[in-house]
Structure 1
C-alpha cells in the first residue's frame, strides 16, 4: 500500500467522533484510490500502541466484521453509546460522515 494512501486512511480514522461509526467503504471513498479491503488492511497493520479508534469502523451492512477483536470492538462502541439492534446492526444515524 502506498504510504500516502495509508496516511489518508489513518487521518480519516482519527476524525471519526466518539459515538459514531464509519464503514470500510465510506472511508475508502474519502481517499484517493482506496478500497474497503485496503482500509481493512491498514487497520490490521496498526501497531499495538497506535491509539486510533479502529473500533469505530464497521461493515457496509452496519455490522461488525468477523475478526478476533469483534468482542472488544462491540464493548468499546457500547461504552461510547453506540446501540445495536437485535440483528447486531448499528442504526443508520450513527454513521459518519
Structure 2
C-alpha cells in the first residue's frame, strides 16, 4: 500500500479519538492496512503546521507519554481535557480508546 494511503488512514483514525480519551501507537497501527507503531509515531511527528489533529491523544503502550520534545505540552493538553495520570505517570486503562 502506498505510504500516502497509510498516512490518510492514520490521520483519519487520530481524528476520531474522543476528547478525554487516549489511544496507543500500536492500536492505531492495528486499525490500518499495514502501518507499524513506529510509522504512526513518524506520521504524528511530521504533521504539517496548522493541522488540527489531536496528536496529543496518542501515547505509548505503557500508557505513559513518549519521551519527546513536546511531552510537557502533550501532558498539559491531556490534563486540560480531563485525562488523569497516576503517580507513575500512566493514564488509567479505562481512558484508552477504543474500548
Please report the TM-score for the alignment, with normalisation by the length of structure 2.
0.96
- 1:76 aligns to 2:77 (yes or no): yes
Displacement of 1:48 in angstroms is 1.8
1:56-90 Cα distance to aligned partner (Å, 9 max, x none): 00000000000000000000000000000000000
For 2:49 and 2:59, locate their aligned partners in 1 and report how far apart those are by CA, in whole Å.
19
Please report the TM-score for the alignment, with normalisation by the length of structure 1.
0.98
Gaps spanning 5+ residues in structure 1: where? Answer: none
The correspondence of residues 83-94 of structure 1 with structure 2, limited to 5 A, is 83-94=84-95
SS in structure 2 of the partner of residue 13 of structure 1? helix
For 1:48 and 1:20, locate their aligned partners in 2 and report how far apart those are by CA, in whole Å.
24
RMSD of Structure 2 on Structure 1 (CA): 0.8
1:2-26 Cα distance to aligned partner (Å, 9 max, x none): 1000000000000000000000000
- 1:38 aligns to 2:73 (yes or no): no
Gaps spanning 5+ residues in structure 2: where? Answer: none
